[in-house]
Amino acid sequence: MKGLNQFIVDIRNSKDIEEEKKRINLELNNIQSKFNSNINSYQKKKYVCKLIYIYLSGYADSVDFGLKESFQLVCSSSHSEKQLGYLALSVLINNDKSTQSTRDFLDSLLDQVHSYLIKDLQSSNEDTNCLAVQFIASNFNLPESTTVRVNEADESAPKWLELIDIVYSFVTSPIHKSVIKKKAAIALYSLLKLYPQVLISNNNWIPRLLSLADDKDYGVSIASIPLIQFVVKSKPQFVKAIIPAISLKLYNIIIENKCPEEYYYYKSPAPWLVVKLLQLIEYFFFLSDTNDYAVLSIADLDEQTLNNLRSVVAQSIQNASQPIKGLPNRNSQSSTLFQAVSLAVFLDASSDAINGAINALMMLLTSNETNTRYLALDALIKLTARSTSNNLSASPSIDEKYTKIFKLLYDRDISVRRKSLDLLYTITNASSYSMVITKLLDYFPLCDFTLKPELAIKIAVLAEKFATDSTWYVTTMLKLLSISGGVNSNGTNYIGNEVWERIVQIIVNNEDLQKKTSKLIINLLKKPFSSTDNTPIALSENLIKVAAFVLGEYGDQVTYMSELSTKLQFHLLYDAYFKVSLTTRAMLLTTFLKFFVKYPDEDFIPEIMDLFEIEELSLDLEIQTRAHEYLTLATHKYSQQLFKEVLKPMPIFVKKESHLMDRIGSVSHIVGVNRSKSLVLAKNISSNKSKAARGIDSSPILDENSDGSNPFEEESKPVVLSPNWYSGYHRMLHYDAGIFYEDQLIKITYRVIKEGCALTLKLTIINNSAKTAGTDITGLTVLNLESLTDDHDPNYVLNLKQLPESTFHDKANMEISVKIRNVVENHESPILSITFMCGGSFNTLNLKFPVLLLKTLTSTALNGLDEFNRRWAQIGELLGPQGESSQAVNLTHRYNSSNIVRLLSRLGFAVVHATSDETDNTILVMGAGILHTQKTNYGVLATLKSTDQVGKEFEVAIRCSGGGVAEVVAITMKEILEGKF
């Protein structure tokens, strides 16, 4: 556009702001007059572009009149006009943000654009769909931590829901192109953050959204990861369902090199997708449920999934360890390495794999790229902080590694220097602490001013954590205080009060340190560590504070030594008095009062009195108050008892927490996937005599809403079972093998293997569509294996031992193990939820399968009917009503004695007595067995007696050696016979 280009040139050539404003005002008048006349499409687009440029130049208040023209462009049937219209709306409509709250702005924006968006979303033209979806993703995207939420009761809720429904259909459509699915995934993420209740009311959406991670188009998978992360955060129970598919996808890319050619970056297959998926898995390990328990642990992963992930990590480390040509290729391999290392510790990787990762990362520390050095240090910190054993410190070539790390303390980039300091803090152990602390103390005077506070804290924490020699500890800490003298450009000490306060706390609580510290501190005041005969050093405020306290409290313990006399102690402190801050002077005044009380006959007492008189006139209120009070005490002859009350010895600290950890800096906790923070676990800090506080925060990654509310705390709806589920459930009650479920697409057969209280359920999933349509089953996922028993003391425990293949043509196998721990109620049977794709359709099956106490029944031998009757009577006498239960059963078909015998035998009873089929008498069958649980076993006796003449009405009577167990068995028997749910 020639006119637009000329306008931009004129603006850039303006000599001053006045000329620029004059040119812009002239153009605005021209544009307004043109909009009021008939102009063609080209001119309209040109003038709207000029308005956008004016807005971006800082003249936002002058272009509001352009919104009307932007809406007209959006209504155009021309793609170029519609595209510019949406662009102009995205830019110009944001001008209202500064005058409205976020919620009001969103409601206003929705009212203005809703009808246009719906029209374009419903268009049959995918390019038009894309423009509308892009607008939603860009303009309704708020931070996840925002408190703005749409509720069902809101007036605007139906409009939001209409947009969400349409965008969701784009995301999950099997016929739409990948380009719109990618944009729709981002748009849906933006909308769900505003209206998260939609996920609660649409549970069936979750499996389809999670399946996007395994989409055949890698671009769709990448675009969907934020959406998947949001969904899993709201429904953490689905984490275990999605992990196998992600691990297989990673395995195919990294190990099998199954990657479309267009997603190769040099020689690296899909590095962006690999890194994103590894980050997603790492995020899963940080998720916690409502009880703050980890949602995922290594024990929750099946063997195949775990092996896949370990192989991916090992191969990524191996790839990065090889010589790599070309900077782009090296960068892609390194990015995969960094994320693989972050995940390695969660997978309990072998020592060889960890050492390989350390060696590969150490090689990157010599890179010329600052970012590479920084990220390598970051990965090493994560690896060593999360690992149970410090492989880096135990490395055979540890001296060489320490040399490399210490060298990085002098890196030209301060972020690298800070990271190397974090790494040294993390890897220091009981064998290396002395060397590390000595090097850090030597480094302190040369350290950057902004790093000194953090460096001082780390030295103090390490010294306290590993010190075994009290003299070494005190000497080291006093040296730290001595060499850190001086203030920064803001007049603030390099070292905060936490360091010297912690030293004082330890000295007070350890009597053997009091005398040692007094000696050391007097000698240090006479000749500081870093002083020379010719070089004066800055006075350390913190050292004087410690000296004021220690000599005032414990200085009398060393006065018997002439070189540490009381007079010397006083003059050392008095000489420093006018060189220190007002806060330190106040402390010294208190110390001088203690000297006055303890040494009333010394020559320096008049000097103390003079100082009190001088400071009575101080401009500082605290100094003036103390001086006046102390002078009053000193000039009046009060009793020694009063002085003892005023100057009580410092009591032992009962609360032993260390506040050093509050200022440990960037290594205070591991934050998971956020690389902007240093990722180090602060271990427990302890010394010989005291134990410091923990500085651990295992939170991830995404913050909760700032108001503390949880949009997902409302209980979700119960799982809706699939049609015809009960026929397979009832068949499994009767038989230990058969068909569990069947429809046009899929058939599931089962086999139950019993071994005491342990049950193994082997399922075979058969592709029925392979025979009719020749299609494969793809994306098969065990979405959930929901146990309906109590979480804290479960009556049974489920374990998914074998996962089915996600893609197959004929059949796939899966295996579930069950351990019965206690008496299982009849309503506690679990639900198996699986999802799969077949012929473009997405399918979900929710099937309940019986986990019941009766399934553990085994037969027991009784010596005839007499023994049966005797045991029947014994249970009645011992347990009374608690040991017996009976149920009336009405059958749809006639049963004879042989039918009942076969049923009891199939269930596991040993049949003790049965009437003959040839007689017309009442049917009576008796059986006995043993019920197995992990806690105990129960003997069970059963009688089935007909109550009519045709064999359709029976009474089931059960007696059991466990109180209340008979009722559970009787109800199960009734359901088996009647087949009613």
Q: Which residues are annotated as a binding site?
A: 34, 42, 46-50
Give the residue from 915, 914, 908 showing the smallest Cα distance to 939.
908
Of 663, 651, 656, 653, which Cα lies nearest the Cα of 460? 663
Residue 844: CB partners within 8 Å, gap ≥ 6? 204, 207, 722, 783, 833, 834, 835
Report how far residue 309's alpha carbon sits from residue 813's, in angstroms, rounded to the nearest whole number.
Answer: 21
Distance (Å, whole) CA 883 – CA 11: 95
Give per-residue burial for 487-510: e unless 16+ CB within 10 Å, then b: eeeeeebbbbebbbbbbbbbbbbb
Neighbouring residues of 370: CB distance < 8 A, sequence distance ≥ 6: 411, 412, 413, 415, 416
The pair of three-digit structure tokens given for residue 310, joined into one six-digit string: 């370990």
Strand partners, 884: 959
Give the list of residues 6+ apart from residue 29 with CB closer than 8 angstroms, or none.
none
DSSP string covering 271-338, please?
HHHHHHHHHHHHHHHH-B-TTS-BS--GGGS-HHHHHHHHHHHHHHHHHHHS---SHHHHHHHHHHHH
Of 204, 195, 201, the residue nearest 230 (C-alpha) = 195
452 is written with which tokens? 């000194």
As beta bridge partners, residue 819 has 758, 797
Tokens describing residue 958 = 């059960």
Cβ atoms within 10 Å, residue 576 = 20
For residue 347, give the amino acid letter.
Answer: L
Q: How far apart are CA 288 and CA 966, in angstroms?
A: 39
Asked if 136 contacts 186 with a C-beta cutoff of 8 angstroms, the reply is no
Radius of gyration of the chain (CA): 39
Q: How many CB atoms lie within 10 A of CB 614?
A: 10
The answer to whether 17 and 30 have CB atoms below 8 angstroms apart is no
* Contact in structure between 711 and 457 (CB atoms under 8 Å): no
Query: For residue 635, which amino acid is it?
Result: T
Sheet holding 758-767, edge to edge: 737-742, 746-755, 758-767, 811-820, 796-802
Backbone angles phi, psi at 825, to 5 degrees: -70, 155
